[in-house]
Structure 1
Amino acid sequence: MSIDVTNRVVEPGNDEHLDAAWELKERIRSEEGVLKQRRGFFADAYRRATVHLVFAGEEELIGFAAVRRDGYVLFLAVDMPHRGEGFGERLIATVADEHGSVSCHARASNQDAVGFYEHIGFEVQRHIDHYYEDGGAAYYLKLGDGGLADRISSFFRG
Protein backbone atom coordinates (compact mmCIF):
# COMPACT_ATOMS: atom_id res chain seq x y z
CA MET A 1 0.00 0.00 0.00
CA SER A 2 1.35 3.40 -0.96
CA ILE A 3 0.97 6.38 1.33
CA ASP A 4 1.25 10.07 0.56
CA VAL A 5 4.25 11.32 2.57
CA THR A 6 4.84 14.90 3.66
CA ASN A 7 8.19 16.07 5.07
CA ARG A 8 8.43 19.09 7.35
CA VAL A 9 11.19 20.81 9.31
CA VAL A 10 10.79 22.60 12.63
CA GLU A 11 13.63 25.02 13.34
CA PRO A 12 15.20 25.46 16.80
CA GLY A 13 13.19 27.60 19.19
CA ASN A 14 9.88 26.30 17.90
CA ASP A 15 7.63 23.65 19.39
CA GLU A 16 5.37 23.06 16.39
CA HIS A 17 4.34 19.38 16.32
CA LEU A 18 5.87 18.82 19.78
CA ASP A 19 2.71 17.15 21.07
CA ALA A 20 2.53 14.78 18.07
CA ALA A 21 6.22 13.87 18.49
CA TRP A 22 5.71 13.28 22.22
CA GLU A 23 2.70 11.04 21.54
CA LEU A 24 4.67 8.99 18.98
CA LYS A 25 7.63 8.69 21.37
CA GLU A 26 5.34 7.61 24.20
CA ARG A 27 3.63 5.00 22.01
CA ILE A 28 7.04 3.54 21.21
CA ARG A 29 8.04 3.69 24.89
CA SER A 30 4.95 1.83 26.01
CA GLU A 31 5.23 -0.83 23.28
CA GLU A 32 9.01 -1.34 23.33
CA GLY A 33 10.29 0.03 26.63
CA VAL A 34 12.70 2.50 24.96
CA LEU A 35 12.74 6.31 24.59
CA LYS A 36 12.06 6.75 28.31
CA GLN A 37 12.67 10.50 28.60
CA ARG A 38 10.57 12.71 30.86
CA ARG A 39 8.24 15.22 29.17
CA GLY A 40 10.24 18.29 30.30
CA PHE A 41 13.55 16.86 29.10
CA PHE A 42 12.01 15.84 25.78
CA ALA A 43 10.34 19.22 25.23
CA ASP A 44 13.53 21.18 26.03
CA ALA A 45 15.61 19.03 23.67
CA TYR A 46 12.94 19.28 20.95
CA ARG A 47 12.88 23.07 21.17
CA ARG A 48 16.69 23.30 20.95
CA ALA A 49 16.91 20.97 17.95
CA THR A 50 16.14 21.07 14.27
CA VAL A 51 13.40 18.48 13.92
CA HIS A 52 12.79 16.64 10.67
CA LEU A 53 9.31 15.13 10.57
CA VAL A 54 7.61 12.66 8.23
CA PHE A 55 3.82 12.64 8.00
CA ALA A 56 1.46 10.22 6.29
CA GLY A 57 -0.76 12.68 4.51
CA GLU A 58 -1.11 15.97 6.33
CA GLU A 59 -1.78 14.87 9.90
CA GLU A 60 -0.35 11.47 10.93
CA LEU A 61 3.21 11.78 12.24
CA ILE A 62 5.04 8.56 11.37
CA GLY A 63 8.61 9.53 12.19
CA PHE A 64 10.98 12.26 13.29
CA ALA A 65 14.62 13.03 13.98
CA ALA A 66 15.60 15.80 16.39
CA VAL A 67 19.15 16.96 15.71
CA ARG A 68 21.56 19.39 17.37
CA ARG A 69 23.62 21.88 15.36
CA ASP A 70 26.64 19.56 15.53
CA GLY A 71 24.82 16.64 13.85
CA TYR A 72 24.12 14.75 17.08
CA VAL A 73 20.77 12.92 16.81
CA LEU A 74 18.89 13.48 20.05
CA PHE A 75 15.87 11.41 19.05
CA LEU A 76 15.01 9.19 16.13
CA ALA A 77 11.58 7.59 16.11
CA VAL A 78 9.57 5.78 13.45
CA ASP A 79 6.12 4.41 14.21
CA MET A 80 6.14 0.61 14.30
CA PRO A 81 3.67 0.05 11.42
CA HIS A 82 5.97 2.09 9.14
CA ARG A 83 9.31 0.52 10.01
CA GLY A 84 11.12 -1.19 7.20
CA GLU A 85 9.79 1.33 4.68
CA GLY A 86 12.96 3.46 4.64
CA PHE A 87 11.75 6.37 6.75
CA GLY A 88 14.47 6.03 9.39
CA GLU A 89 17.13 5.82 6.71
CA ARG A 90 15.72 8.87 4.93
CA LEU A 91 15.68 10.87 8.16
CA ILE A 92 19.32 9.98 8.85
CA ALA A 93 20.21 10.72 5.21
CA THR A 94 18.73 14.20 5.63
CA VAL A 95 20.84 14.74 8.75
CA ALA A 96 23.95 13.43 6.95
CA ASP A 97 23.23 15.78 4.06
CA GLU A 98 23.23 18.77 6.41
CA HIS A 99 26.11 17.87 8.76
CA GLY A 100 29.72 16.85 8.32
CA SER A 101 29.46 14.48 11.25
CA VAL A 102 26.48 12.48 12.52
CA SER A 103 26.43 10.76 15.90
CA CYS A 104 24.02 9.47 18.53
CA HIS A 105 23.62 7.27 21.57
CA ALA A 106 21.57 4.08 21.56
CA ARG A 107 20.56 1.98 24.52
CA ALA A 108 22.94 -0.99 24.54
CA SER A 109 20.06 -3.40 25.18
CA ASN A 110 18.07 -2.04 22.21
CA GLN A 111 19.47 -4.39 19.58
CA ASP A 112 16.93 -3.23 16.99
CA ALA A 113 18.23 0.36 17.20
CA VAL A 114 21.89 -0.67 17.34
CA GLY A 115 21.37 -3.01 14.38
CA PHE A 116 19.62 -0.27 12.41
CA TYR A 117 22.44 2.20 12.99
CA GLU A 118 25.14 -0.33 12.15
CA HIS A 119 23.25 -1.41 9.02
CA ILE A 120 23.35 2.13 7.61
CA GLY A 121 27.01 2.67 8.43
CA PHE A 122 27.28 3.85 12.02
CA GLU A 123 30.16 2.46 14.05
CA VAL A 124 30.17 1.91 17.80
CA GLN A 125 32.78 4.27 19.24
CA ARG A 126 32.39 3.34 22.89
CA HIS A 127 30.21 1.64 25.50
CA ILE A 128 29.04 3.81 28.40
CA ASP A 129 27.82 2.14 31.60
CA HIS A 130 24.99 3.87 33.54
CA TYR A 131 24.32 6.40 30.74
CA TYR A 132 20.55 6.54 31.24
CA GLU A 133 18.66 7.67 34.35
CA ASP A 134 17.54 4.11 35.00
CA GLY A 135 21.15 2.91 35.01
CA GLY A 136 21.03 1.47 31.49
CA ALA A 137 24.15 1.37 29.35
CA ALA A 138 24.52 3.06 25.97
CA TYR A 139 26.63 2.90 22.88
CA TYR A 140 27.97 6.09 21.37
CA LEU A 141 27.75 5.65 17.61
CA LYS A 142 29.12 7.73 14.77
CA LEU A 143 28.39 7.54 11.07
CA GLY A 144 31.49 6.10 9.41
CA ASP A 145 33.93 8.18 7.43
CA GLY A 146 35.07 7.66 3.87
CA GLY A 147 32.09 9.14 2.07
CA LEU A 148 29.53 6.83 3.62
CA ALA A 149 27.39 9.76 4.73
CA ASP A 150 27.44 11.05 1.15
CA ARG A 151 26.45 7.64 -0.23
CA ILE A 152 23.57 7.32 2.25
CA SER A 153 22.28 10.82 1.59
CA SER A 154 22.51 10.50 -2.21
CA PHE A 155 20.87 7.07 -2.13
CA PHE A 156 17.84 8.39 -0.26
CA ARG A 157 17.69 11.87 -1.77
CA GLY A 158 14.58 12.55 -3.80
Structure 2
Amino acid sequence: MFIREFVPSDLARVYQIEVESFSTPYELASLQQLYEIGAGFLVAVEDGEIVGYIIFWVKEEGLGHIIALAVDRKFRRQHIATRLLMMAITIFKNIDIHRISLEVKSHNEAAVSFYQKFGFEIDRKVPNYYEDGSDAYVMLFSTNKISN
Protein backbone atom coordinates (compact mmCIF):
# COMPACT_ATOMS: atom_id res chain seq x y z
CA MET A 1 0.00 0.00 0.00
CA PHE A 2 1.23 3.47 -0.81
CA ILE A 3 -0.12 6.98 -0.45
CA ARG A 4 -0.08 9.54 -3.23
CA GLU A 5 -1.71 12.82 -4.13
CA PHE A 6 -5.23 12.71 -5.52
CA VAL A 7 -5.65 13.28 -9.27
CA PRO A 8 -8.97 14.10 -10.96
CA SER A 9 -9.33 10.60 -12.41
CA ASP A 10 -9.57 9.32 -8.80
CA LEU A 11 -12.82 11.20 -8.19
CA ALA A 12 -15.33 8.45 -9.03
CA ARG A 13 -13.62 5.91 -6.75
CA VAL A 14 -13.21 8.41 -3.90
CA TYR A 15 -16.89 9.28 -4.21
CA GLN A 16 -17.81 5.58 -4.09
CA ILE A 17 -15.88 5.17 -0.82
CA GLU A 18 -17.45 8.39 0.52
CA VAL A 19 -20.99 7.15 -0.17
CA GLU A 20 -20.26 3.72 1.34
CA SER A 21 -18.68 5.27 4.44
CA PHE A 22 -20.99 8.11 5.47
CA SER A 23 -24.74 8.43 5.98
CA THR A 24 -24.48 12.08 4.88
CA PRO A 25 -21.75 11.97 2.22
CA TYR A 26 -20.28 14.91 0.36
CA GLU A 27 -21.71 15.35 -3.13
CA LEU A 28 -19.46 14.45 -6.05
CA ALA A 29 -19.27 18.12 -7.07
CA SER A 30 -18.24 19.11 -3.54
CA LEU A 31 -15.35 16.65 -3.56
CA GLN A 32 -14.23 17.99 -6.93
CA GLN A 33 -14.49 21.55 -5.65
CA LEU A 34 -12.37 20.73 -2.59
CA TYR A 35 -9.65 19.49 -4.94
CA GLU A 36 -9.97 22.50 -7.23
CA ILE A 37 -9.63 25.03 -4.40
CA GLY A 38 -6.43 23.37 -3.24
CA ALA A 39 -7.40 21.27 -0.24
CA GLY A 40 -4.86 18.61 0.67
CA PHE A 41 -6.14 15.40 -0.88
CA LEU A 42 -4.33 12.09 -0.53
CA VAL A 43 -5.35 8.60 -1.60
CA ALA A 44 -4.17 5.20 -0.39
CA VAL A 45 -3.60 2.69 -3.18
CA GLU A 46 -3.41 -1.10 -2.87
CA ASP A 47 -2.75 -3.23 -5.97
CA GLY A 48 -3.71 -0.34 -8.24
CA GLU A 49 -7.03 0.32 -6.47
CA ILE A 50 -7.84 3.35 -4.34
CA VAL A 51 -8.79 1.98 -0.93
CA GLY A 52 -8.95 5.15 1.15
CA TYR A 53 -8.50 8.90 1.19
CA ILE A 54 -8.07 11.93 3.40
CA ILE A 55 -9.00 15.55 2.65
CA PHE A 56 -7.62 18.40 4.76
CA TRP A 57 -6.86 22.10 4.62
CA VAL A 58 -5.68 25.09 6.55
CA LYS A 59 -8.79 26.51 8.17
CA GLU A 60 -7.18 29.61 9.63
CA GLU A 61 -3.70 30.71 10.62
CA GLY A 62 -2.15 27.98 12.72
CA LEU A 63 -5.20 25.69 12.49
CA GLY A 64 -5.52 22.76 10.13
CA HIS A 65 -8.73 20.84 9.58
CA ILE A 66 -9.44 17.24 8.60
CA ILE A 67 -12.41 17.42 6.24
CA ALA A 68 -12.85 13.73 5.53
CA LEU A 69 -11.09 10.41 6.12
CA ALA A 70 -12.48 7.12 4.85
CA VAL A 71 -11.33 3.63 3.95
CA ASP A 72 -13.13 1.03 1.84
CA ARG A 73 -14.88 -1.44 4.15
CA LYS A 74 -12.90 -4.38 2.71
CA PHE A 75 -9.63 -2.71 3.68
CA ARG A 76 -10.41 -1.49 7.17
CA ARG A 77 -8.36 -2.58 10.20
CA GLN A 78 -5.20 -2.63 8.08
CA HIS A 79 -3.80 0.68 9.42
CA ILE A 80 -4.66 2.54 6.21
CA ALA A 81 -6.58 5.29 8.04
CA THR A 82 -3.70 5.53 10.50
CA ARG A 83 -1.19 6.05 7.70
CA LEU A 84 -3.39 8.62 5.95
CA LEU A 85 -3.95 10.57 9.16
CA MET A 86 -0.26 10.48 10.09
CA MET A 87 0.65 11.77 6.63
CA ALA A 88 -1.76 14.71 6.99
CA ILE A 89 -0.48 15.48 10.50
CA THR A 90 3.10 15.44 9.20
CA ILE A 91 2.20 17.79 6.35
CA PHE A 92 0.52 20.17 8.78
CA LYS A 93 3.51 20.10 11.12
CA ASN A 94 5.91 20.75 8.22
CA ILE A 95 4.03 23.93 7.31
CA ASP A 96 3.92 25.17 10.92
CA ILE A 97 0.32 24.22 11.60
CA HIS A 98 0.29 23.19 15.24
CA ARG A 99 -3.41 22.63 15.90
CA ILE A 100 -5.76 20.38 13.95
CA SER A 101 -9.54 20.17 14.22
CA LEU A 102 -12.15 17.79 12.89
CA GLU A 103 -15.79 16.91 13.40
CA VAL A 104 -17.10 13.41 14.03
CA LYS A 105 -20.58 12.11 14.77
CA SER A 106 -20.84 11.97 18.54
CA HIS A 107 -22.42 8.50 18.45
CA ASN A 108 -19.66 7.07 16.23
CA GLU A 109 -17.71 5.51 19.09
CA ALA A 110 -15.25 3.73 16.80
CA ALA A 111 -14.24 6.97 15.07
CA VAL A 112 -14.06 8.93 18.33
CA SER A 113 -11.84 6.22 19.82
CA PHE A 114 -9.64 6.13 16.69
CA TYR A 115 -8.96 9.86 16.90
CA GLN A 116 -8.46 9.77 20.68
CA LYS A 117 -5.71 7.16 20.18
CA PHE A 118 -3.83 9.82 18.20
CA GLY A 119 -4.26 12.39 20.94
CA PHE A 120 -7.29 14.23 19.58
CA GLU A 121 -9.46 15.49 22.43
CA ILE A 122 -13.14 16.33 22.43
CA ASP A 123 -13.43 20.11 22.59
CA ARG A 124 -17.20 20.49 22.42
CA LYS A 125 -20.43 18.95 21.20
CA VAL A 126 -22.40 20.66 18.42
CA PRO A 127 -26.10 19.69 18.40
CA ASN A 128 -27.74 18.88 15.04
CA TYR A 129 -24.49 19.43 13.14
CA TYR A 130 -25.15 16.90 10.39
CA GLU A 131 -27.95 16.92 7.82
CA ASP A 132 -29.51 13.86 9.43
CA GLY A 133 -29.78 15.72 12.76
CA SER A 134 -26.84 13.94 14.40
CA ASP A 135 -24.68 15.79 16.88
CA ALA A 136 -20.97 16.26 16.28
CA TYR A 137 -17.96 16.37 18.51
CA VAL A 138 -15.36 18.94 17.54
CA MET A 139 -12.04 17.30 18.30
CA LEU A 140 -8.68 19.07 18.56
CA PHE A 141 -5.09 17.89 18.27
CA SER A 142 -1.78 19.61 18.91
CA THR A 143 1.11 18.69 16.60
CA ASN A 144 3.43 19.60 19.46
CA LYS A 145 2.52 16.18 20.91
CA ILE A 146 4.63 14.43 18.26
CA SER A 147 8.36 14.61 17.76
CA ASN A 148 10.09 15.64 14.58
Name the TM-score, length of structure 2 as normaliser: 0.81
* Gap regions ≥5 residues in structure 2: none
Q: CA deviation at 1:56?
A: 0.4
How far apart in 1 are the matches of 2:36 and 2:9? Answer: 9
Q: Report SS of the residue matched to 2:134.
A: coil
Query: By percentage of residues, which structure has more strand?
Result: 2
Matched, 1:55 2:45: yes
Name the TM-score, length of structure 1 as normaliser: 0.77
* Structure 1 pair 77–35 and aligned structure 2 pair: CA distance change class (3 A): farther
Q: Report SS of the residue matched to 1:69.
A: strand
> Aligned to 1:26, which of 15, 19, 23?
19
Q: 1:25-104 residue pairs with structure 2 within 5 A?
A: 25-29=18-22, 34-48=23-37, 49-58=39-48, 60-70=49-59, 71-99=64-92, 100=97, 101-104=99-102
The Cα offsets for residues 120-156 of structure 1, whole Å up to 9 and x where unpaired, read as 21100110001112221101111146x32x25xx7xx
> Aligned to 1:17, which of 10, 16, 30?
10
Q: Do 1:45 and 1:74's aligned partners in 2 also have CA atoms closer than 8 Å?
A: no
Matched, 1:137 2:135: yes
Q: CA deviation at 1:46?
A: 4.0
* Gap regions ≥5 residues in structure 1: none
